[in-house]
Amino acid sequence: MKNRIEYFLFLLFSLIFRLLGLNTSRKLSSFLAFIFYYLIPIRKETVLENLTNAFPEFDEKKIRNIAYNAYKSFLTAFIEILYLPKISGQGLKAAVYCPNKELIETKFKEDNGVILLSAHFGNWEYVAASVALQLNIPLSVVVKPQRNPYVSDWMNNVRTRWNNDVVSLGLSIRKIYQTLKEKKIVAMVADQRGPQESIKVEFFGRKVSVHVGPVVLALKTGAPILYGIPVRQKDNRYKIVMHEISKDNLPEDHEEKIIELSQRHTTYLESFIRKYPEQWLWMHKRWKH
């Protein structure tokens, strides 16, 4: 019953945003941020703790300002996601600007498959859909099932609306591996906390566990890792510059290779978070172990 009620509210908000239009709906993000930051705080303590860990040099006022704007950024992305059933293909293409998307085409033609890595930054859901449309190349999007199965199905229907397909995370790593062996493009995010037993790398000066899937697959298949982080611009478009995570000069030991390559893409993400801290998702306990 709880899942059905949540799904009803989810659909209701989607309908409201579609009726209001995207530009008007985006303006509601400030109002919603006020509600969920001040009146009905959701994971507020976690957000403040994470920001304090990441930026010990910032005073409390600055930390709280970033935290509030992080809620606003997340809710803007949430509104945009709920609006996706109405957006046109042309509108989705225009929503994401990728000045060097030819890098993806070049790597794709090398026939090793491609791993498109991104993060919970800006609006990560726009990346795979818009880039696939712009390139006219379908992507296999690796997704983590939502707790609510109705919401999960809704999201997957939206994700596959523009010819992408979805691969459920945890369902079968073999499926992802096979997709890369078929010389296709796999899109995934891997910036949240990894398992406790996973390898540790430096992130904002502290050791954190990471998901090693993208790196292991890249080393095993020869697929390049292209990291794209969608940064929201003042006009609400997203600029995403694709950057290849270098595999040059890796250690000889296989486990050390995994650690070093994981460190490289984690450091790259950190550089963007430091520039735009309000656009990253701070609501999970990234430094739990």
Each residue's pLDDT tens digit, 219-234? 999 999 999 999 999 9
Token representation of residue 116: 């498109």
DSSP 188-243: EE--S---TTS-EEEETTEEEE---HHHHHHHHH---EEEE--EEPTTS-EE--EE
Please list, in sequence order, all residues whose beta carbon lies within 8 angstroms of the beta carbon of residue 256, skipping any fewer than 6 positions away.
Answer: 250
What percent of the chain lies above the pLDDT cut of 70? 99
Residue 86 burial (CB < 10 Å; 0-12/13-18/19+)?
middle
Q: Look up the pTM and report it.
A: 0.94
Residue recorded with tokens 């994981």:
262
pLDDT at res. 196: 83
The conformation of residue 248, written as its DSSP 8-state character, comes to T
Write the pLDDT tens digit of every residue in 110-143. 999 999 999 999 999 988 899 999 999 999 999 8
Task: Give which of 272, 240, 11 is closest to 134, Cα–Cα.
Answer: 240
**CA distances (Å), origin 100, targets 105, 131, 268:** 10, 11, 17
d(CA 127, CA 139): 11
Alpha-carbon distance of 220 to 212, in angstroms, equals: 12
Q: What is the pLDDT of residues 149-193, one digit of tens each?
A: 999 999 999 999 988 999 887 656 778 888 999 999 999 998 988
